[in-house]
Each structure stands twice: as C-alpha cells, then as structure tokens.
Amino acid sequence: MFRRILACLSLVAVSLARSALGVELAPFPVRNLSPLVQVRSLAIAGPARLNRPGQTTARLDFDLANHATESNVGIESILLDGETYVATLGLRYGTGEDLQLGLDLPWVSQQRGFLDGFIRDWHDFFGLPKGDREKLPNNELAFIYSRDGAEPLRLENRTNGLGDVRLLLAWQWLADERRAVSLQGAVKVPTGDAGDLTGSGGWDLSLAVSGQRDFRLDSGSVATWAGLGGSWLGGGGVLADQAREWAVNAWLGVGWSPLVWLGLKLQLDSHSALYRSELRELGEPALILTLGGTLEAGAATSLDLSVGEDLITNASPDFTCHISLSHRF
C-alpha cells in the first residue's frame, strides 16, 4: 500500500512537470523523529539561498517514522513501539535587507501505525537485520521509559494535536550564481503538549549557518550543501531531569539534476545526544541517511520524496518517510 501511494504521487508529479524550467537543488528539511527527540527543536536544514524581497514560499511537509526498539542498560529500560506522524505548514517570506521571515505550524500524532508488516517483509526481501521487530507485536503503540524503579514516561493511547510552533529569521550573507551562505535562527514556542509527546513544554532557541555550491554541467547540474547548528534546549516536561541544555547538529548533502524536471539527492544529518542516559535511544549521537529526490511541477512548484535510514542503530528510527510539496508566489 505504501509503495502504491509513493508511485501514484510520483506519476502525478511527473505528468505535471512538462513545463518545468529546472530543478532547484536544496537540502531535505528532515530531522530525527524518535518520539523523545522530535519534541526538541534542533536547527533544521534549510536552503542557503533565501527568498527574494516580496517572494513567499508555502510548503506542506509530511513526515512519518516507524519505531520498533527495546533496550535495557543498568537501571534504565525503554520501549519504543509505534509510529509518529508530523504534518507541517511552513511559510517563508523575503523582506528587504537580505532578510527572510518564517513560520512552521506542525501537527503531531503518535499512533499504532500500519507499517510494521511492510517493513518486516522489506527486511526479509533484502536480507536486512530486523533488530527488535521480531519480539514486538505488529501495529501497537507503547512508548515507555523507566529508570531506577520510576516510570517518567508511559504513552499507550493515540495522541494528536498542535506541535511546538517555530518562528524563524534568516539573513543572506552571500549569494551569487554559484554560491550561497545564510545565517538562520529559530525560536520554538511551547504550544504542544509534553504529556502527549506533541511538544516538549519548553522554549528552544537555535542558530545555524547553511551553505551551498552549485556546479553547471554540459547536461544538468550538481550541488553540494552543508550546515552547522547549535541549540539551547529550554527544559520542559519530557524527561526534564535528564535533558541536556545544549546540542549541536550538522548536515551534509549532494544533489544531481540530470533532467530539467528531476533532481536526485543524498543527505547525512547528525546531532549530539539530547539526554543523559546509557541507552542508545537517548544518550547517543544520531546519524541519519536520507535518499530521494525532487520533482518539478512547473516553474514554481516542486515535490520532494525521500526515505531515511538510521546509520547508528536505535539512535533514530530505522525507517522514515518525507514528502514535501512547495510553491513560490
């Protein structure tokens, strides 16, 4: 079913792409969707080239992550079994003086999900390790963390609601035909609910620098991009006693556009540990590989499709999906 949905979206995008003028290669705005990590607000990879004055970009993102891990280390244990869905409406507006204003409105849902059977079959087909999936039931929801006899987290009922809103301000430091560098800041407002894992219950601040280099080829184009961010994480109600106040994250990617309507992209994202814990799910850095591409559907509309894989087992979900539809006005 999931493969059919992606195939349909691809066919629709390709059929609309006949009048495309070319693909603009840019980073995937992905992040670690582990239930206890996604409530924190690290810097998210954004285009180094900002909107022109008076230009607006509207983007609708849908991110899905499937969780299936169970660990016990010392006095700690964790069970993450379920799925996280995040739908985000993002707006970016270019002002004068090389500035860009932004707003992200997320809707977060923690669910039993439907992909467990598909992912098991996928692992069987390609001979991939199944990890803890063999021990866990299909399509259940259980996010449970215990420490030294206490249980600061237990979520077994489906939840959904407004997540933590992000307010953004970016400055275009450098931009020409082949290079772009921008400085991007964000404030996360605690509009979500810590008990439902739709938010952290605290304010977060992040600052990042994002750069890109474009190369024109005889046929198509290539781009490379990278970014480095730092965040102050303002506590809240999710494992507050173990939450770290500071974190760093980075991304590195490359894209190739062989056709005027198609861009193929690969990106690595990493961040430092967000909690003090011996468990890999909480206390280890994460490294995520995202593979996918961009389909142009006209001069101002594009569709991103990608899947993600954890390169450090259990530090992030082992299967994620990202779909993003954007339009410039």
What was the pLDDT predicted at 14? Answer: 41
pLDDT band at 62 (very low <50, low <70, confident <90, very high): very high
Q: Is the predicted pLDDT of residue 2 greater than 80, yes or no?
A: no
Which pLDDT tens digit goes with each residue over 242-285? 999 999 999 999 999 999 999 999 999 999 999 999 999 999 99
Residue in the structure block whose two tokens are 């024109």: 216
- pLDDT, mean of residues 183-208: 97
What was the pLDDT predicted at 318? Answer: 87
Return d(Cα 279, Cα 73) in angstroms, integer: 6
Which pLDDT tens digit goes with each residue over 138-186? 889 999 999 999 999 999 999 999 999 999 999 999 999 999 999 999 9
pLDDT band at 121 (very low <50, low <70, confident <90, very high): confident
Return d(Cα 176, Cα 254) in angstroms, integer: 19
**Residue 220 burial class via C-beta count within 10 angstroms: exposed 0-12, middle 13-18, buried 19 and up:** middle
Return d(Cα 50, Cα 172) in angstroms, integer: 6
Q: Is the predicted pLDDT of residue 129 greater than 70, yes or no?
A: no
Between 218 and 7, the higher pLDDT residue = 218
Q: Which domain holds residue 219?
A: 2-328
Angle (nearest 5°) at CA 46 between 326 and 284: 125
Return d(Cα 282, Cα 257) in angstroms, integer: 37
What was the pLDDT predicted at 113? Answer: 80
Residue (of 208, 209, 211) closest to 176 by Cα position: 211
What was the pLDDT predicted at 128? Answer: 64
Q: What percentage of the chain has pLDDT greater than the value 70?
A: 91
What was the pLDDT predicted at 5? Answer: 38
What was the pLDDT predicted at 199? Answer: 97
Compute φ and ψ for 94, nearest 5 degrees: -85, 125
What is the Cα 232 distance to its own chain's centre? 19
- pLDDT, mean of residues 55-74: 96
Between 299 and 20, the higher pLDDT residue = 299
Q: What is the CATH number of the domain that holds 37?
A: 2.40.160.40
Long-range interactions of 11-17: CB distance < 8 A, separation 24+: 13/295, 13/297, 13/303, 14/261, 14/295, 16/297, 16/298, 16/301, 17/261, 17/262, 17/295, 17/296, 17/297, 17/298
282: which 2 tokens? 């909480």
Q: Is the predicted pLDDT of residue 6 greater than 50, yes or no?
A: no
**Listed range (1-15, 52-66, 138-152) with the worst mean pLDDT:** 1-15
Give the chain's mean pLDDT.
90
Q: Is the predicted pLDDT of residue 78 greater than 70, yes or no?
A: yes
What was the pLDDT predicted at 165? Answer: 98
Return d(Cα 130, Cα 119) in angstroms, integer: 9
How many structural domains is the chain composed of? 1
What was the pLDDT predicted at 219? Answer: 83
| pTM for this predicted structure | 0.89
pLDDT band at 214 (very low <50, low <70, confident <90, very high): very high
Q: Is the predicted pLDDT of residue 3 greater than 60, yes or no?
A: no
Q: Is the predicted pLDDT of residue 4 greater than 80, yes or no?
A: no
What was the pLDDT predicted at 297? Answer: 87
What was the pLDDT predicted at 123? Answer: 67
